[in-house]
Structure 1
Amino acid sequence: MRKHNLQRIFEPRSVAVIGASDRSNSVGYHALHNLLEAGFSGSIFPVNRNHKELLGQRCYASIADISSPIDLVVMAIPAASIPEVMQRCVEAQVGGVLVISAGFGEVGPLGKQLQDEIVALARQAGIPLVGPNCLGIIRPKVGLNASFARSAVRDGRVALVSQSGAFCTALLDAAYSGGRGFSAVASLGATADVGFGEVLDYLSFDPQTQSILLYIEGVVDARAFLSGLRAAARLKPVIVIKPGRHAAGRRAAVTHTGGHAGSDEAFNAALDRAGVVRVNTVNQLLAAANSLSSGIRVRGSRLAIITNGGGPGVMAADHATEQDLPLAELQAETLAQLAKVLPQHWSPTNPIDLLGDADSKRYEQSLKIVLQDSEVDGALVLLSPQGMTDPSACAEGVIVAAQQSRKPVLACWMGLDQVAQGRQLLSKAGIPSFNSPEGGVDGFAYIAAHQRNQEKLMQAPPPLSERAQVDLAEARRVLQEVLDQQCTVLDSVQARAVLEAFRIPVSQCINCTSSEQVQDAAQRLGLPVVLKINSPDITYKSEVGGVRLNVHDMTSLPTLYHEMMAAVKARSPQAQIHGITVERMELRPHAREVMVAIERDPVFGPIIRIGTGGTSMDIYTDSKVALPPLNVFLCEDLIQRTQVERALQRHRHLPEADRAALVEVLKRVSEMACELPELERLVINPLLVDERGVIAVDAWIALSATPVSAAPYSHMAIHPYPQGLASTIFTKDSREFTLRPIRPEDALIEQRFVDNLSAESRYFRFMYGMGQISRAMVARFTQIDYDREMALVVVAADGKPEASMKAVARYVASPESGSCEFALAVADEMQRQGLGLQLMQRLIALAQQRGFSEMRGEVLAQNHKMLRLCRRLGFELKRDPLDGELIQLKRSLTLETS
């Protein structure tokens, strides 16, 4: 693969500053001054027609006057002048543009028009554009400070990416004062062209960046954002801070960035699936960075607290409860061992109070015992500098105990001068140290949250269940019938038909338009029955007198029919009434009422909601959401986060409800969200769940009035696993194999595949000598988004043990729009068997379906077998003008596959 297109922005060899100035209060002055002060070793070209020299540097009247190649252009000129200058940058073939100037989309339609104009110029020329309205880019290791920030920036291992320049400057100042540094700082402003996705993609492979901090005010392209975020989070910890948790803050963020106002619930659900951690304050951001950058990981969330003072221990325990962190229940054996090393009057509880005279030995022995308890996932050790306490010695005791266990240990040495040396010892030993008990609890909470979300990141649900296939054609027929009638809301009968098509159990229902039909329907179904108004315009039927429950008297049905019709027409005179449905009264005394819904977020598309159902739905606001697609693991996680979890459990007179049946409904609803992009909203309420299973007794569906894209799953933020792409292929010697998209669980066979390649095959694939493939690379290769990247593998035929991978081909979307880059590797023993040809033909066909116009690649000149294959596939071959050992490959995807 070629170098990332942002490399010339983050690691330029030359920078031009357009709008450079000698006025110390101007942005142009600070942009040039910062470049010089940071010690940038490349060429610096100030551009200002009014000066011959600026800050000791030769000044140019125009970028066209600079004869040398320009990697990065920094613009600090009025917005109205930028389109003309952007055209000159295109003509000069610059590597990237950074627009610091404001006055674009954030100021209204005219500004948005200017913004669209410069973005169109940049994209047409393949020039990445950062901004506008941003602070700039800082890369300390190369001496690059292309910003107007006043703070110096130390080199470090944490990258900061932010939409807010003000947030950047505040954090940079605090970090410098606290001795912290950054591997890179990117203020993206309006993200009109280069967004979070591209920057995260670059940073995920940056060897200097160990963790990433994000400040986000709004997301423009949810698919690109999540794709980049998930790719980065697979390789290194990512911590997100986002304002706008409430409506007023969201409105301010939209005004600032010009983005879209999605719900905070949906944003949280997206982060859950991305494997990252969200924080709400700057202090929490630093605490999370402190914890996650240490590299320690946890398998659970049960915390043990050890302290030499009761007060701090209680504070930590209270905060753990507020953070939904369970305190570990210490086993009897652990308590017995602690009793041998602690004073007689200690209290055998968690928090474990070592008492005020605790010394180094007591800390070491107690922590060692606690960490051996299988009920403990991690420990927070607190110390207050009391009269008999030696903070430094106690820190050494903690370090000794922590080094003998793989479980995470965090520390809080409270105070300042007396504990400073102890904190230094802990930090040097890799033990995260905090100033307060709450900070320590937060630190552990972030490690636990990161682990939980990493598990969610690993999930790759298929688009449709492998069991009990749904009748997708019937569901689409019903929706199209409604749309053909110029309607966007389904009535009760139509909604139930869609649920039935997806194999969701529904109560039997007959629509009636006369009192006689009502009696006939009740006779067929059997008493007791339920009468409900059938109208696409009425969501809450009981509020307009449109429901009669538990009707036992056949003779009362005509009267009830006429009463309901009159009541509904009086209260909702404009509503279309399709009749009254007669339904069997579901007599399920042990049933719990649950609500399951699909909603459409303006940023992240469809989301799945579950919560308390029935008439209590609007009273108990304990519902939670998740982004589809869902599998069993994700459905279970969603249920566990609501009060539904407790309701399903066995109670005094209630048997345990059928949890698996509810999970199956959530999976089916997820399938509906994936396969029916027309769905604007679905509400199943109530869904009755008991020991006998589930049954939906009412449903409401609304459709989008705008046409949906023909591209599969384009309405979703996360592309589901493309289940339907598996096929059987044969080698030239008639051996049978399966060709399918790669899965996250293929990590082991992917590692074996690469490790077993010969040195020559490995060199031809990666273009450099390498040892064993790292876990990070395995994760990168196997956990893909199936949208901007596709990987096809050849494995043992279905039904046979998949002991090995025989070949793999992949494409990755190029930063320039419309093209993708490919790579292919075939096991040495399987070469010359036709696998490479079949893989590439399928990959090219998928890239065409995805809408790419061109496929590119690079092959070593001595890789003759690969070059022959590429010629056969219709690629144009051209020797790289900068590297004679490389052959550049290019194939138009608008042609028929050869």
Structure 2
Amino acid sequence: MSIFNLDRVFAPKSVAVIGATEREGSVGRTVLQNLQQAKFPGTIYPVNPRRSTVLGLRSVPAVQDIADGIDLAVITIPIAQAPEAIEQCAAVNCAGAVILSSGGKELGHKGLEIESKIRCAAANGGVRIIGPNCLGIVNTTARLNTTFANQTPLSGKLAFISQSGAICTTIMDMARRNSIGFSYIASLGSMLDVDIGDMIDFLGTRSYVSSIVMYVESLSNFRKFMSAARSVARVKPIVVLKSGRSEAGARAARSHTGAMTGVDAVYDAAFERVGIVRVKTFEELFDCAELLAKQPRPPSPRLAIVTNAGGLGVIAIDALADYGLEPAQLYPETIDKLNQVLPEHWSRSNPVDILGDASPERYRRTAEVLMHAEEVKGLLCIHVPQAISKPLHVAEELVDVFAGTKFPVFTAWIGGEESVQARRVFHNANIPTFDTAERAVRAFMDLYRYDQNLEAIQEVPPKLPRKLDVDPKKAEEIIRTGCESRTPYLTELEAKHLLAAYGLPVNTTRLAQSSSEAVHLAREIGYPVVLKIQSKDILHKSEAKGVQLNLRNDAEVVEGYKDILASAAHYNPRACIEGVTVQRMLPKPDYEIILGARKDQDFGPIIIFGMGGIFTEIYQDRSIGLPPLNRLLAKKMMKQTRLYRLLQGYRSIPAANSLALEEAMIRLAHLVSDFAYIEELDINPLICMGQEIIALDARVVLNPEPAVPTPFHLVISAYPNQYESYATTKNGLDIFIRPIKPEDAPLLTDFFKTLSQQTVYFRFFRPLKQLPKDMLVRFTQIDYDREIALVALHESEGGEEMLGAARVIKEHHANSGEFAVLVSDSWQGQGIGAALLKTCLTIAQERGLQRVWGCVLSGNTQMRALGKKLGFDIKRDQGTTDYILSIDLQHVDLVGEKATPQAQPSHVSDLRT
């Protein structure tokens, strides 16, 4: 349901507290008091059938007795009564309810039944549910506090989401003591309805939210979560503490929330893919939150460190080294300036050791120099108590110097009571402060990691040098046959045929059902050869002694064939033996790699890359990625392994073909993206010999009845090739219309150069000489679930040329979207814009959008003419000279208008009529 009604939930005009009471220590009383103490400006309705007033407010017996209706209900009564309360809320058009009551799915079957009744009652009336088993919600900008915490948080621009009420109250208490403010706090509890994905989407649209911090035990609706996080993390930092990293922790999370958790390494890969920074401890989460709330993000890791104790400066440097970084190298001019304010024996390097007798003034003058140094992009001041200089006096001297900085400035004041008082001064001045140098550096690096993640997810991936031709029909036939067989496994031969259908290089493999046939095949393939048992009942061939290597003549093949059959019969007398495969015996490879995929219970297909061969399980040198992949993502997976350094070449061993490996990973990701039936797929080993890569062995496990069908088994929407089509322009040029890809950034840049300034102004409502990088990334790296973006291409021997582009962006609050169309000046009037927009509208209609609209400048007569041709309603934008074009997709037939879906290249739409 996404963010429907959440604006009314978090900024209500009226709130009903169901179960409000004056009983000391009760949840109902505490919630009512918190609403009053926060000075909520709307109307508060205590709901209690046994009292006429509660805490000075007139009480009503039931929700339906509230004549003016309500926006938000807070339910504090036992959860067994919650379904009836939600029915009453639905009857008065209540936007949402916060259910504080516990006793839901975390208690088992009975709790699940109650939650089911709540869900049904809420769905019937469109009531959003937060909880149950939660602390409540806070919006400081609306002066709303529906929690039963013992205080109202300070106002700020940090948002906090938590599944644990206890973590929420702890964060709120620590934040107040450290002068950290929040705009929103949402304790989600069991997430019966509103989940973390919904909250990320909602907070991403709020101007009073600068960053989001989360405590997560489990996720629901993983595809929605990934889509929301991927969208919002590009503009606002998201930091998460995900508990359940260990197996024991995962079991505890299940008992607490009643939800399943996945393999922790997959969560790491998922968070990194969407740009989320993951922290490991509660302390780290809070430290990162403090820096996010109080300081700008570091533009680079060039940190300067000032200390009055050399040893602590070294500790800070070591902490930086743990991240593979060094402190900022001070320029000679900076050292000259420091020479003028520091005694002769200062360190003359970074860390800047200003000696144990450093006075408050020496700290201040040193900080001033470094804050104006071009090479410094972050400043950490460390202080330990010395006999000459008092911690409190130094802190008071630095507070004014640190005001208005453009990069992070933070402190580590180490010591007892005097240092505690100094840290309080920093807290009151909104300057982050820590009690150890390591904590300070770690928090700084967490913020820098966000910028690194952001840069990585916005990098333009290079194209592969050739088109990825695949044969999905052949692959589907192999998979269907495998699903219909008595076991869910493909034989090695079938698995290799499947890989070959998607262009993955495999070792030539033929099946023999007799020793004489094996000899015949061996002669065809060429000696030496390998024989392997072919049986779905024997998955691990080596264990069954079902492999014979390096057979060099006919006699050895005959003997090897007999030995394999005898060993297989001994290993599993009931095994159904289909024969023996004959394969080319290859020379010793340069490298052995494992490349595979498996279905994660939470995140769907994952891709695995790492060191292969017989020592795969021992070395455990693997990385994990989520499909779909491009060259950048594939290369990143490779770099995350220790194997990657070896693949660059070592001594006499040549470097592996990195491009071929990237292509193989991308092809495998395509395969598992296209077929939800694949549960597991292992290529082990994938060998590298010179510039060649070959799959020597393959294993595929199928699920004839996958829980989620294609393409929804993926948590990241894949390229929607069903929207590819061909068309012919009015002057007879064949064009290819397809969804935009991240690799299209260079094409889009070249396309922009063909536009006149007038065309640019009509599209962007302002002059642009070139597309800024952030805009280029935003236009090409789209979420196919959220946005429809198509391009029209002319394909020739010289490559591709972009002729036009169009998109429809779905709006958050409604089943509507905004369109935009752009066609190269030299190709306008050829029907390209009409073909693009009609296809966009058809897709929007298919996805349930009811209305598509766009703003058109008064001088853009061509766009108005196109809108009229396609049936748009055209009206003046009130108070301007511009026009609003809109079309009701519920009452328009676009079937005959759209470009023909791609079946064969000869199937085209003719735009000349």
| TM-score, normalization by structure 1 | 0.84
Distance 1:529 1:23 in 2: 85
Change (3 A) 1:361 1:224: closer
The answer to whether the 8 Å contact 1:739/1:795 transfers is yes
Q: What residue number does 1:792 align with?
A: 789
The corresponding residue for 2:72 is 72
Which whole-Å deviations, capped at 9, do the CAs of 1:335-389 have from their partners, x for residues lacking one? 99899889888889876656545644994599589963xxx98665544344566
1:619 matched to which residue of 2? Answer: 618
**Are 1:111 and 2:131 an aligned pair?**
no
Structure 2 partner of 1:768: none
1:596 equivalenced with 2:595 (yes/no): yes
**Residue equivalent to 1:688:** 687
Q: How does 1:752-831 map to 2 (within 5 A)?
A: 783-787=781-785, 789-792=786-789, 808-812=806-810, 820-825=815-820
Aligned partner of 1:540 in structure 2 is 540
Tell me the CA shift for residue 722 of structure 1. Answer: 3.4
Displacement after TM superposition at 1:259 (Å): 2.4
Match of 2:200 in 1: 200
1:75 and 1:750 map into 2 onto residues whose CA distance is 56
Q: How many angstroms does 1:472 deviate by?
A: 2.2
Partner of residue 212, structure 1: 212
Residue range with higher mean Cα deviation, 132-141 or 530-539: 530-539
Question: In structure 2, what is the equivalent of residue 129 of structure 1?
Answer: 129
Q: Which moved more, 1:61-70 or 1:409-418?
A: 409-418
Query: Which shifted more, 835-844 or 525-534?
Result: 835-844
Displacement of 1:833: 9.0
Letter in 2 for 1:484: E
Deviations 1:68-89 (A, max 9, x none): 0311122222223222232222
CA shift in 2, pair 1:319/1:525, >3 Å: same
Instruction: Answer yes or no: is 1:647 the counterpart of 2:646.
Output: yes
For residues 482 and 213 of structure 1, the distance between their equivalents in structure 2, rounded to whole angstroms, comes to 46
| Cross-structure match for 1:90 | 90
Whether contact under 8 Å (2:461, 2:632) holds in the other structure is no
CA shift at 1:602, angstroms?
Answer: 0.7
- Show CA shifts across 1:764-815 (max 9, x none): x9xxxxxx9999999777654211x123356786689999997744142767
- Which secondary structure state, in structure 2, belongs to the residue aligned with residue 892 of structure 1? helix
- 1:892 is aligned to 890
C-alpha contact (below 8 Å) 1:14/1:42 kept by paired residues: yes
Separation of aligned partners in 2, 1:425 and 1:756:
56
The answer for the alignment partner of 2:906 in structure 1 is none
Query: Which residue in the other structure is 2:911 paired with?
Result: none
CA contact (8 A) 1:610 1:639 kept: yes
Q: Which moved more, 1:522-531 or 1:126-135?
A: 522-531
Structure 2 unmatched ranges of 5 or more: 878-882, 898-913
Q: Which residues in structure 2 correspond to 1:489-638 (within 5 Å)? A: 489-552=489-552, 554-588=554-588, 591-638=590-637
Distance 1:336 1:24, change over 3 A: closer
Which letter does structure 2 place at the counterpart of 1:810? V
Read off the aligned partner of 1:846 and give its amino acid letter: I
**Contact residue 462 and residue 721 of structure 1 kept, 8 A:** no
Tell me: CA distance 1:161–1:344, structure 2 relative to 1, closer, same or farther (3 Å). same
Whether contact under 8 Å (1:338, 1:369) holds in the other structure is no
Q: Does structure 2 retain, via aligned residues, the 8 Å contact 1:402–1:409? A: no
Aligned to 2:488: 488
Q: Mean alpha-carbon deviation: is it higher for 378-387 or for 677-686?
A: 378-387
Partners of 1:750 and 1:393 lie apart in 2 by 58
- The equivalent of 2:705 in structure 1 is 706
- Structure 2: which amino acid aligns with 1:447? L
Distance 1:476 1:20, change over 3 A: same
Q: Aligned letter for 1:841?
A: K
Is 1:285 aligned to residue 285 of structure 2? yes
Instruction: Kindly indicate whether the alpha-carbon contact (under 8 Å) linking 1:158 and 1:211 is maintained by their aligned counterparts in 2.
Output: yes
Name which of structure 1's ranges 712-721 and 798-807 shifts more when overlaid on structure 2. Answer: 798-807
Cα distance in structure 2, aligned partners of 1:107 and 1:166: 18
Distance 1:77 1:144 in 2: 20
Residues 1:719 and 2:704 are matched in the alignment: no
Query: Which residue identity is paired with 1:64?
Result: Q
**Structure 1 segment 845-856 matched on structure 2, within 5 A:** 845-850=842-847, 852=848, 854-856=849-851
Give the direction of change, closer, same or farther, for the CA distance of 1:455–1:62 in structure 2 (3 Å limit): same
- Once the two structures are TM-superposed, the CA of residue 477 in structure 1 deviates from its matched residue by 1.7
Alpha-carbon distance in 2 for matches of 1:339, 1:587:
64
**In structure 1, how many angstroms separate the alpha carbons of the residues matched to 2:567 and 2:823?**
78
Query: Does the aligned pair in 2 maintain the 1:793–1:805 contact within 8 Å?
Result: no
User: Could you tell me whether the CA contact under 8 Å between 2:364 and 2:397 is conserved in 1?
Assistant: no
SS class of match (1:544): coil
SS in 1 for 2:155: strand
What is residue 477 of structure 2 aligned with on the other side? 477
Shift of 1:167: 1.1
Q: What SS does structure 2 have at the residue aligned with 1:226?
A: helix
* Distance of 1:731 and 1:761 partners within structure 2: 22
1:656–1:690 contact (8 Å) kept in structure 2: no
1:587-633 Cα distance to aligned partner (Å, 9 max, x none) = 135x1211111011111101111122111111012212111111111
2:594, 2:683 within 8 Å by CA — same for their partners in 1? yes
Tell me if the contact between 2:607 and 2:626 (Cα under 8 Å) persists in the aligned partners: yes
Contact 1:529–1:585 (CA under 8 A) maintained in structure 2:
yes
* Counterpart code for 1:202: F
Identity fraction in percent:
35
What value does the CA root-mean-square deviation take over the aligned residues? Answer: 4.7
Partner of 2:489, secondary structure, is: coil
2:259 alignment partner, SS class? coil
1:614 aligned partner, one-letter code: G
Q: 1:105·1:115 contact (CA, 8 Å) conserved in 2? A: yes
The 5 Å alignment of 1:100-249 reads: 100-249=100-249
Judged with a 3 Å threshold, the aligned counterparts in structure 2 of structure 1 residues 587 and 837 are, in CA distance, closer, same or farther, namely closer
Contact 1:96 1:127 in 2 (8 A): yes
In the alignment, the residues of structure 2 paired with residue 178 and residue 400 of structure 1 have an alpha-carbon distance, to the nearest angstrom, of 20
Q: 1:743 to 1:426 in 2, by over 3 A?
A: farther
Deviation (angstroms), 1:872: 7.8
User: How much has 1:230 moved relative to structure 2?
Assistant: 1.5
Measured at CA, do residues 146 and 487 of structure 1 come closer, stay the same or move farther in structure 2, by a change above 3 Å? same
Structure 1 pair 750–528 and aligned structure 2 pair: CA distance change class (3 A): closer
Structure 1: runs of 5 or more not aligned: 766-771
Residues of 2 paired with 1:508 and 1:234: CA distance? 46
- Greater mean deviation of Cα atoms: 465-474 or 497-506: 465-474
**Counterpart code for 1:146:** T
Residue 677 of structure 2 aligns with an amino acid whose one-letter code is E
TM-score, normalised via structure 2 length: 0.83
Q: How many residues in Structure 1 have an aligned counterpart in Structure 2? A: 873
Q: Could you tell me whether the CA contact under 8 Å between 2:3 and 2:199 is conserved in 1?
A: no
Distance 1:149 1:5 in 2: 25
What is the alpha-carbon distance in structure 2 between the residues aligned to residue 442 and residue 555 of structure 1? 66
Q: Deviations over 1:731-788 (max 9, x none)?
A: 989999876545667698999999979999989x9xxxxxx9999999777654211x
- Classify 1:887/1:635 alpha carbon distance in 2 versus 1 (closer, same or farther; 3 Å): closer
> Counterpart of 1:614 in 2: which secondary structure?
coil
**Corresponding residue for 2:324?**
325
AA aligned opposite 1:565 = L
The 1:450/1:86 distance shift into structure 2, 3 A limit, reads same
Partner residue in 2 for 1:769: none
CA, structure 1 residues 743+55, in 2 after alignment: closer, same or farther (shift >3 Å)? farther
What residue number does 2:48 align with? Answer: 48
> Contact 2:368–2:401 at 8 Å: present in 1 too?
no
How far 1:532 sits from its partner (Å)?
Answer: 2.1
Q: For the residues of structure 2 that align with 1:427 and 1:191, how far apart are their CA atoms?
A: 34
- C-alpha change, 1:588 and 1:357, in structure 2 (3 Å) is farther
CA distance in 2 between counterparts of 1:525 and 1:331 reads 65
Q: Confirm or deny: 8 A CA contact 1:462 1:720 kept in the other structure.
A: no
